[in-house]
Chain A
Amino acid sequence: MHSSKLFSERAAELAGLAAENAAAGRHAEAEDIYRLLLHLEERTLGSEHTDIGVTLRRLAGACRSQGKHAEADRLLRRGQQILDRAHGQHRAELKTTIQGPLTYWRRTGEA
């Protein structure tokens, strides 16, 4: 099996189990699992992948549920920064993609 597919299947197993534990109120266990998932994601995907942003936010939730507010805030900020950067890049790409047609429409008076 391709290594990226193998990784995403493993990550999905961990994420699913963490979510089940969090939903059942076993937040310490959910935190353990999210931390392991985060470690594997950082090693495999690099530090800026959106999946890491999502995991950080969920890990922050597990921490907050245990009263670890400072840690939760730190994780949440980091997760949000990653997601904001990724979305900013997406918006820039989108702008480039639509720039051509926009220029044409403006020139022809259609926009």
Chain B
Amino acid sequence: MTAPAPRYDVEGVLSDEQRAAAATNAFVRDFGPVAALYLDSCIHCGMCAEACHFYEVTKDPKYTPVLKVEPLKQAYKREYGPFALFFRLFGLKRRVTAAELEQWQELLYDSCTLCGRCSLICPVGIDIASLIAETRYGMAAAGLVPHELWQAAEAAATGSPSGLDAETFRQRIAALEAEHHVVVPVDKPTAKIFATVSDTDLLHYPASIVAMAKLLNHLGCDWTLSSTAFDATNAGVVAGRADVEQAVSRRLIQAALDCEADIMLLPECGHAYGSLRWRGATAYGEELPFRILHITEFLAEQVTSGRLHFRPLNTSVTFHDPCQVARRGGVIEAPRIVLAALGAELREMFPTKGMNWCCGGGGGVVNIQRADKLRHRVFELKREQIDATEADLALTSCSGCRRTFDDAQAHLHWETSLRSLLELAAEHLPEAPA
């Protein structure tokens, strides 16, 4: 195993030995039989590289997805696997060292969006993306996380990744209400729909919050936001901070329970969906009495039930499937139902739906400054896909993807913008001005 070039941040004041021990303990702490089977059965065929956008663009073998979990595999085999005693006794597997983990930081964070495309090519059936996410938990325990993600996770533990507190949130919402002449209920004691926003929307795309409010008000929903649990972006997930992920999920779920909600409504945010829809109940420790829906799923349900209609869009569109919502989350047809209701001519990319290429910014990559150059190269794949459709509009349902597009658009001097499906839907409500 040859080490990749060193490129890393270090958080906290642990010694190298303490970091290695902390990572190893975290690697094996929650190790389950599925992950063990995965690690034990890899045949090193290398096919996963062919599914990874970072490898596809660079052809550098260090970006092979399964190589990224090597520290986890090493710790499992040496410390925890059925033959761990033999591996230790005969020195067949070395201890995981801080130096190795430092070198692996770039592979685990800068060059992996946790998009899960690699999991679809593995002939053995290994869900490689889940192993990479698991490896990030060990890295975080060792304090070996890119500083941008670490800081965001620290802030998210008590508020939002960008550090917005309840008072600032209320002020922002009040300003949006005044500017857009829309009612946005905050802190209602009870509501049928407990809505959430993403930190990215608050900072970059406030029109999405306005759009959500317009749609919910149009449908006559009983809904509210909470000033103490508003941000569904779970910075703990992408950093690998299990403690933060759990704290954020529990805070939101408790607020929804207090509100006696039937639905927790998630914003256009990929990792928010993964962390709350699919891991939230487990983080909370019990099954939940309410449904958790991505805003696109909610809109599709309203369309299907005949409660929501739009003015016709009359243009061609292409849709970028956000990995955590579509491929990993299962929301694939919902945006297409909304687009059909909008009367859009949908021109699918190739590949599309669950096989679509990632934008290259997920998993926190868009926030890691040192990864910009690589991310811009990877984005070329996306640009080619979208240009090939020759559609008039490019749409998505993830604000993280939009940020990645906006940044790459500026860098590549590209004409196409990625727009929000939610905003487009709100713009085409029957009452809305043309």
Q: Do A and B come from one complex?
A: no
Residues of A within 8 A of B (CB): none
